[in-house]
Structure 1
């Protein structure tokens, strides 16, 4: 068995494996494995997926990350935005940098697509390592506003907007 992990774009043929990875990664957590797996399916069905990547080791999918389209307004103008949710790694492969690699590859793909801003609702000690800032997120009205809501400009040289709003893809509003 190799330790090498490859990151690639997810395909329709990966759907069952991605579902299994999400359910395994979130089993027993406060997030609820059922909800996260359903959320990915709804986002995809709605056509709101911007980036979906899988991590493979020895031909098996061991991780997945999804970035979905967001409706963002900043300083009175539309701004292309993406929300990260969820990132999942099977329990036996957690703590090995796979989630980190998936997120970084996803952010690079968003930059290539010209997406201006990214948001995440997550652990405030984990996501700042990628450039996410709770301070930037406080400038945006959102139903998810709070200490776990973070944002980052995907062009690190871009000025921070003074204010606006950030709405996740409609699937998030349909979650239990």
Structure 2
């Protein structure tokens, strides 16, 4: 990669480039489905986007991450929460730290916004490097519960809730 990626907030005019990156990143992966680009559009249309960032290299959008609002209850009280999905990097540039930079920048933005917890449904060998824990995720009832459902407290000093419920934004329920 000749230029270091520039991470910036996504803008409305980035929509087509984001779609292209997401579709290319998930094509032929053998996991997920091709609905991620539509999911991003639905989350944005519903007003449930908390953080949407792009990575640019040489002025071209080559990566995207989205964190959306979640409805979470922990130990009987509402908890400000965000779901990470999707993160995508253009094929050919994957494995160069762009996804990592997008996720870390997104988590920093969530902390600035005062979010308490973030969830992800993803690969258990990848997401723990950011602080996501399958053990914390397992404390929450969710339609996505299982070994790939992970959570992290955004304040690393905060105590883990004993249990609760975690529901993604309504757009996730409308996916086929």
Q: TM-score, normalised by structure 1?
A: 0.98
Residue 45 of structure 2: aligned partner: 45
Structure 1 unaligned spans of 5+? none
Measured after TM superposition, the shift of residue 55 of structure 1 is: 0.2
1:6-34, CA deviations, whole angstroms, 9 ceiling, x for partnerless residues?
0000000100000000000001122122x
Aligned length: 175
Residue 96 of structure 1: aligned partner: 96
Residue 154 of structure 1: aligned partner: 154
Moved over 6 A (4+): none
Pair 1:123 & 2:115 matched = no
Residue 32 of structure 1: aligned partner: 33
CA-atom RMSD, angstroms?
Answer: 0.8
Tell me how far apart the structure 1 counterparts of residues 113 and 73 of structure 2 sit (CA, whole Å): 18
Residue 163 of structure 2: aligned partner: 163
Pair 1:173 & 2:173 matched = yes
1:36-73, CA deviations, whole angstroms, 9 ceiling, x for partnerless residues?
11100000000000000000000000000000000000
Structure 2 unaligned spans of 5+? none
Tell me how far apart the structure 2 counterparts of residues 145 and 116 of structure 1 sit (CA, whole Å): 19
Tell me how far apart the structure 2 counterparts of residues 48 and 80 of structure 1 sit (CA, whole Å): 13
Residue 142 of structure 1: aligned partner: 142
Tell me how far apart the structure 2 counterparts of residues 106 and 95 of structure 1 sit (CA, whole Å): 18
Residue 68 of structure 2 aligns to a residue in which SS? Answer: strand
Residue 171 of structure 2 aligns to a residue in which SS? Answer: helix
Tell me how far apart the structure 1 counterparts of residues 37 and 132 of structure 2 sit (CA, whole Å): 24
Residue 58 of structure 2: aligned partner: 58
